[in-house]
Structure formats: structure tokens, C-alpha cells
Amino acid sequence: MVFGVAEDLDLSGLVDKTLHSISIGAQQLELTFDDDWSVYLQGPWQLETSAGQVAEGKRESLLLTVDDLKPLVGGIVEFAAPMPPDRITLEFGMRGRLTLIDDSDLVESFSIEPIGVVV
């Protein structure tokens, strides 16, 4: 497990991947992309739309906020980058920018497969 987001985290494999689905688990959301790429959300996130609207998901209410992420389904990741020390961002063009936030030293906030990153 990694604490924080490394400056040299390579997220280029997510670029040009389409988000196909969002699955709801007991304590996480799974975002499924092309070519067996997945992002598992256990912690907070923020979505900013192209219109400037902001939606947030928090660890304690993660599953209640899944509807806010639905506009991203079918979208293509145009840009993905680490934002050290505690965030990564995925840009979906006009659909919005999703920021994943590491808020804990004790438990996972998000993970990315197949590259095996756990933050």
C-alpha cells in the first residue's frame, strides 16, 4: 500500500480508455474501463463538470453519491495525471474532471488496476 500519490505515478495507460460502467460494492465503487483497467474508489472524490458544477463523494456516504458519476459513463479519459501529494485527476473532456483524493494514512482511498497502485 502506498501512502500518498507519487509524483512519478504513470497513469498514461488510462488515456484513451472508455469508462464502460460503474459498479456498486459494499464499501467501494468500481469504475471499469477498456482493456481490463479499473479504478476502485473507497475514499473521497470530486467531479467538476464543464459547466463548473461540483459534486463530491465522501468516504462515509460513497455509495449514496454514485448517481453524480453517471455522466462519465461512456466518456473517454483524455488526460490522467498524479497531483501529489494526495490526488490524481482524470479528465473526460466535456463530461468533466474526476479527482480522486487520498484522505487516510490507515485505509485505502483508491486503487488502480492493472498497474497495481493502491493509495
Q: pLDDT confidence of 30, banded at 50, 70, 90?
A: very high
What HEC string does 96-109 produce?
Answer: CEEEEECCCCCCCC
Reported pTM: 0.92
31-68 per-position pLDDT tens digit: 999 999 999 999 999 999 888 899 998 888 877 788 89
The CATH class given to the 12-118 domain equals alpha beta
Q: Is the pLDDT of residue 28 over 70?
A: yes
Q: Is the pLDDT of residue 2 over 70?
A: no
